[in-house]
Chain A
Amino acid sequence: MNKALLALVILVGVMLGLGSFTFYYGEGHSYLSKNPEACLNCHIMGPQFDSWQKASHHTAATCVQCHLPQSSIYKYISKAENGFNHSKAFTLQNFDEPITITEKNSRILQQNCIYCHSAITENLTHGSTTDANALSCVHCHRTVGHGEPLGLGGPLRQEEKGGI
């Protein structure tokens, strides 16, 4: 075998090894799943994850079910796009806080509300529900996904007071 080719093969092999270890160590495989804990990998979604566990929708929907499109092709395109943006931002640490949902993702979210609740909302959703003038579901139903803002609770309700 050509010596140069051998060297090249070794180089590429080393790179592949390093790459796959990084992928494994960074839990890259978890991003192919729909497990909500995958969203916690980069540490920044902690409050969102915590508050989702306490919110009404934690029994009904996981992160990706609200935040990614339903159709399988668009789901993976959106997953790749958000995944890239998130890893870039978190690696470079160059984003504004508090983090806020983008307009594009906000439209996806709105479509997902209607996807599940179409039977109830049929009479409310004639015309677009995602253009600039439309009222989004979470404008009022803000706490269904993440509870009270970022885990801040109000005072104890009467029924929570008894017993220590």
Chain B
Amino acid sequence: MSGASSILKSKIGIVVIVIIVAAISAVVTALLVNIIQRKAESKNGYVRLVEVTEDDTDPEKWKTNWPKQYDSYKKTSLATRTRFGGHGGSEALPEQKIERDPWLKRMFKGYAFSIDYRDRRGHAFMLEDQVNTERQTKPQTGSCLHCHASIMPLYRELGNGDAIAGFEETYKYSYSDLNQMLKDSGNDHPVSCVDCHDSETMEIRVTRPGFIQGIQALAESDAPTPHLPSIEQWREGPRAAPYDPNEDATRSEMRSYACAQCHVEYYCASNMKLTFPWGKGLKAEEVEEFWDDTTFSNGEQFFDYTHKESGAKILKAQHPEFELWSQGIHARSGVSCADCHMPYIRDGASKVSDHWVRSPLLNVNRACQTCHRFSEEELKERVDGIQQRNFDLLQRAGAALMGQLDAINEARAQGATDEDLKEALELQRKAQWRLDFIAAENSMGFHAPQEAARVLGEAIDYAWQGTVSASTWQDKETQQ
């Protein structure tokens, strides 16, 4: 004790001991506070400070209650690039896709996409970019706002409370008229919180009438949907009420359905209401069959535009991400859109779904490595290999279609009529539909690589059949 008591006798010794004890206490207190904070985080998902209702389309209001989700949602205004997605060009004006792949421009001749077709920007720009596209120099339909704006309150207003009825009227409006109504009602926001979340419970839900009608038609068809078990379950039941995704679907399915409200193939022009073509299934040829069997009110067979060079009645594919994903191994394994595009982020002790919707290639550790235990480099290389193969095949299919158009032009120059070229033009419609189905889809084949290759293979086959048919038109005439 002599050593200890001598320390205690010197003032410096006491000061040193006090400092040491104070430092240790500070560290222990900091740890205690940290533990308290983590425990609190794990208990409260969110605190509802302001009331939000079904009519609150402005995400600014929601951010008070859900700041973490809102922060990441706002990040969709940031530019993101991957090798095949995102964009070159300036930030304000992404590069033209139709300049990069000249066959795209020729394929779209006679359609507004030949005027302006650029790489996409993030969700934050969906409304602004649509208002400003040069495609607006041609009259566009109000149907487009189904997906580009937070439009549900306006649908309810137009349908006197019935959103579906309101929706079914909007194709008759011009884009600019409906957009003005949207502005006047204060709902001119890009798709926001209320579009995917129930304002009461925050549960994920679907609101878009186009999707609800489309998925009901799919449920009523015979097309197998092993990746959507709730549909198969509904089919086995009494079918007393139509399939209702908000009631019948699993939570995992809802994490894809929310995205499938827009990232799909549809008809969006002024001849009839916005239509999701799923009544015969989700595969490229099943969607094609649905369109082939659809007629306009004047009795004419469905088409999107007349090709300016060849005169073929063309089907334009939108962006069938949900449809292609449906054919892939991820869908089959129960992996939803949000699992990869909005993966969970751990924030302290709480888990938040990343609302910065973007390519999984920019988020490999959360999006892929949760299931695939390989290094980031390895996973990126695998994806790159898949996409490169798809890209190469896509270019081949583009070249094959150009070959067919050349053959049709040549036949026309030799005096072939529409009747002589009937078969060739039908084959162009088939080939171009398949090519566009994969070209317009935003994953460069990744959502279902084997299916993408199958569809492109058919595109190439039909294009060459069409080439042969066009260049042998005179033989047919002599035979007759």
Contact = CB atoms under 8 A, between A and B. Distances in A.
A42 B226 CA distance: 38
A97 B32 contact: no
Interface stretch (B21-29, B56-64, B191-199, B390-398): B21-29
B252 A22 contact: no
A140 B21 CA distance: 52
B349 A98 contact: no
Contacts of B17: 8, 11
Tell me which of B29, B35, B349 has the highest count of chain A C-beta atoms within 10 A of its own C-beta. B35
A164 B232 CA distance: 12
Given A11-B17, A43-B38, A155 B29 contact: no
- Interface size bucket, A side? 35 or more
Interface string B329-373: 000111100010000001011010000000000000110011101
A89 interface: no
Contact of A18 (B32, B34, B227): B32
B333 A26 contact: no
Nearest to B248: A164
Contact of A96 (B41, B226, B229, B365): B365
Interface in A81-120: 90-91, 93, 96-98, 100
Given A25-B32, A43-B349, A155 B332 contact: yes
Given A11-B18, A14-B25, A42-B38, A91 B31 contact: yes
Contacts of B14: 4, 7-8
Contact of B34 (A4, A91, A96): A91
Nearest to A101: B373
Contact of B8 (A8, A91, A150, A156): A8
B474 interface: no
Nearest to B350: A43
Contacts of A22: 28-29, 31-32, 35
Given A42-B38, A152-B371, A4 B366 contact: no
Contact of A25 (B35, B226, B339, B351): B35
Contacts of B332: 154-155
A21 interface: yes
Nearest to A154: B334
A12 B370 contact: no
A61 B2 CA distance: 55
B89 interface: no
- Interface size bucket, B side? 35 or more
B312 to A, nearest CB: 39
Interface in A1-36: 2, 4-5, 7-8, 11-12, 14-15, 18-19, 21-22, 25-26
A127 interface: no
A96 B14 CA distance: 43
B236 interface: yes
B181 to A, nearest CB: 41
Nearest to B34: A91
B31 A93 contact: no
Nearest to A22: B32
A93 B366 CA distance: 16
B414 interface: no
B299 interface: no
Nearest to B368: A98
Given A8-B17, A44-B346, A152-B335, A164 B237 contact: yes
B28 A156 contact: no
A164 B233 contact: yes
Contacts of B232: 161
Contact of A15 (B24, B38, B339, B349): B24
A2 B32 contact: no
Given A2-B8, A22-B28, A161-B229, A152 B333 contact: yes
Interface string A148-164: 01101111100001101
Given A21-B32, A22-B31, A91-B31, A5 B8 contact: yes
Nearest to B1: A5
A45 B181 CA distance: 50
A97 B376 CA distance: 12
A153 B348 contact: no
A70 B8 CA distance: 47
B189 to A, nearest CB: 33
Contacts of A11: 17-18, 21
B346 A97 contact: yes
A46 B348 CA distance: 13
20 contacts: A4-B8, A4-B9, A11-B17, A11-B21, A14-B25, A15-B21, A15-B24, A15-B28, A22-B35, A26-B31, A26-B32, A42-B38, A42-B349, A43-B38, A43-B42, A90-B38, A91-B34, A100-B373, A149-B370, A152-B335
User: 8 tightest CB-CB pairs across the interface, nearest first?
Assistant: A43-B349, A156-B229, A149-B371, A4-B8, A22-B32, A11-B21, A154-B334, A26-B35
Given A8-B17, A155-B333, 4 more contacts: A5-B5, A12-B21, A18-B29, A43-B41
